[in-house]
Structure 1
Amino acid sequence: MRNRIAVLALAPSLLAFSNPYSRHLDPPTPAWVYVASAGSVLVMGSIWFVKTIKKSKAADGPQALKQRIAPAVAYFGNSAERKTFKQIHAAEELQRFAAEFWSKRDPDATTPGNEAKDAYEQRLKHANENFREGRRAGWETARGRVHLLHGPPDEILREHWIDLPLPGVSIKSLEFWFYYRPASAGEPPNLFARMNAGMVKFVFADVEGVGLQRQLYSSEPGEQKDSRVLLGATPAESERRK
């Protein structure tokens, strides 16, 4: 709206300046038109300048800094780092914390950049742009977490309207992520064992049919596994494998 007002205010003067005969028109363009146009330019310029300064300050403010590093601390930080991070609120302290955090994880200190930090920022951007679910940021979702921790999968397979023998569960779709590298440990017997056997895999399921994916299975130890996809396991064993 403000831009339209500025254009309307500038229009007479622009026409006057663009017409070489404007000074000889009868009657000539009133002086107040030029004054009003110049005033509009100054007002719009001031508004733009103030907004730019505010955006710049917000980008470097404590809240923005905390949001940028929060996923890294949540998924890559140790318990001491997570505890310290929760207690920091000042921008300078957050910047110092972030510098130390990534310095510890720099795979090659002889290079000018930090490859681990660069990879994290690329993954975070991709996760937030592609895996957002409702009000949850992409990095907070099941697929976003795996993407941050393991990077982009080598292969993605999507299956819709799957009829799995899982009591009490109606799965609308499955999404398989395959990484072409050996799994960290032998897989327990499960419904997906034959799919790219021996390789790292993650299985996500849309149980409610509204696009909210939850992790159903992973070949990696310590990762969430729904006990109902494990074959030949007693209830107690299934609980331990979750």
Structure 2
Amino acid sequence: MRKSQNQHRRWMVFRKKIVISAIIFLFASAPLPAMLSLDAAAFQGNAGQSSLEIYYTIPRKSLNWQSKNGLFHGQIPLITKISFRGNIIFTDTSLVQDKCLDPAQIDSEQALPHQMSLAIPPGIYTISANLNGTKQSVSLEYFVPNFNDTELRVSDIECISDLAEPSPGSIFNKYGKYAVIPYPSRLYSLDYPVLNFLFEIYNMSWSDDKESKYEIKTRILDLNKKLMLDLGSETYSAPLSNFPSIHSFDISALSGGTMNLEIEVHDLTNGNKSLSQKRIYMLNPDESIAFLPKDDPTIMSEKELDSLYYILQPLLSNTEKRLFKNSNLQAKQSFFNSFWAMRDPKPETRHNEYQLEINRRIQYANQHFNSQFRSGATSDKGIILLKYGFPDDVQVFRSTSNSKPYEIWHYYDIEGGVQFYFGDISGFNQYILIHSTKNGEFQDPNWHSQLKY
């Protein structure tokens, strides 16, 4: 088996440890604002039809919020239309709903994933989506292939933001084992460089008395079909029909531009091949935001200031957050000048010791706590490190037959001694805060139950 030099993880369908996803996620290249996004993928269906899945992200700020029983309830109608040869053949209105404590605290980068599916004959369709009562609309022309013959076929590719444990009635449940969270914007950057996707393979040739092999090649091409990044190939024994193949690659080596992710499946038994492509977008390196702030806010661009705000939110009061969000470039520069100056423990010295310490914590978090979906500084460990500094002691508990791995961070000089409990619930070295004894932080007295297999 040959693997690419790029980081690559292949999630097998029988793996029990899967990533737990929040239903709200940040736009890939935060601090870019979230926007209404639309994508689709077709899979094998029944009775000569294909199964078309349509994926959306809805800006959370677009919802109409009303207070009820101590919470704010938000909703907005999402209207989807499908046309064939100029005639509308399908219309659907879905009510996208959410809850929050305070809509004023919702960031412009937050988006809600959504999806729907329907059986449809092969053909070329126009899919359009609109958030009712707004000017936000998007459309795409989509070719739905025929997967119901006997030839080797690869389904369309679905780009995903995360895998989650299935929950009853979830629209994201798939294969009986996963909730697959779509990523319809397909926008990547140095700050969000991990490409996650899945596809299915149909009509593999195999028999009980002869081992059958197939090869999957993965590469990224520009629009002129020039190879931009070879993600390698892997060889497997032929699986059962409709085997979902789920992959993850680090594509940070790419330069910016619009490209095609291409999957080629080669049946090594009979020589048959099948291709599938998905359009993706990579921001130019100079458009990506460095996570380590500069010393002088007055020389920072608005994107850099927004990125700094995104990292430092745990240190800001609600008043400071509202002030920053209502500021222009010059006001944002002044905001951070004041932010650092007010916290400088020794104004008479040349350097701001507080700023240097915060920069050190950010740098450490990014070096040690990065995961495929979050930067280290914005991970749960990074946030606690940013707020309270380095722990006095860390207890590390490895995985056992009855428990997932976890850590306990001890701070002896806070409130007479507090602890923070982080568990690798997903099994992908992505530790989340599962309990704390610190007042005002997340607490779960039954935190042990989260660690059970």
In structure 1, the gaps of 5 or more residues are: 1-53, 165-170, 186-198, 231-242
Question: Residues 163 and 105 (structure 1 numbering): CA distance in 2 closer, same or farther, change over 3 Å?
Answer: farther
- SS of 1:146's partner is helix
Given candidates 306, 311, 314, the residue that maps to 1:75 is 314
Q: Is the 8 A contact 1:215 1:225 kept in 2?
A: no
* 2:323 corresponds to which of 71, 84, 108: 84
- Pairing 1:43-62 to 2, within 5 Å after superposition: 60-62=300-302
Opposite residue 426 of structure 2, the aligned amino acid is E
Counterpart CA distance in 1 for 2:394 and 2:407 is 7
The CA deviation string for residues 180-212 of structure 1, in whole angstroms up to 9 with x for no partner, is: x24416xxxxxxxxxxxxx33211011121222
Q: 2:390 aligns with which of 128, 152, 164?
A: 152
Q: Are the equivalent residues in 1 in contact too, given 2:436–2:444 (CA < 8 A)?
A: no
Q: Which amino acid aligns with 2:304?
A: A
**Greater relative contact order: 1 or 2 (C-alpha under 8 angstroms, separation 6 or more)?**
2
Q: 1:172 aligns with which of 391, 404, 408?
A: 404
Does residue 131 of the first structure (1) align with residue 369 of the second (2)?
yes
Give the TM-score normalised by the residue count of structure 2: 0.31
Distance 1:89 1:149, change over 3 A: same
1:64 — aligned with what? Answer: 304
Equivalenced residue count is 154
* Structure with a larger share of its residues in helix: 1
Query: Which of 435, 439, 449 pairs up with 1:217?
Result: 435
1:117-174: per-residue Cα shift (whole Å, max 9, x none)?
Answer: 111111111112211222212122110101101111222221112477xxxxxx4101
CA distance in 2, matches of 1:227, 1:201: 12
Tell me which stretches of 4 or more aligned residues in structure 1 moved more than 4 Å: none
Structure 2 Cα separation of the partners of residues 99 and 182 of structure 1: 30
Shift of 1:84: 1.6
Q: CA deviation at 1:89?
A: 4.3
Mapped partners of 1:219, 1:163: distance in 2:
27
Q: Which amino acid aligns with 1:127?
A: A
Q: Tell me the distance in 1 between the aligned counterparts of 2:401 and 2:445.
A: 17
Which runs of 5 or more residues in structure 2 are unaligned? 1-284, 291-299, 449-453
Q: Please state whether the residue corresponding to 2:446 is helix, strand or coil.
A: helix
Q: TM-score, normalised by structure 1?
A: 0.56
Aligned to 2:336: 98
Aligned-partner Cα distance in 1 for 2:410–2:400: 19
Contact kept, 8 Å, 1:162 with 1:174, in 2: the verdict is no
How far apart are the structure 1 equivalents of 2:415 and 2:429? Answer: 30
CA offset at residue 109 of structure 1? 2.0
Aligned-residue RMSD, C-alpha: 2.6
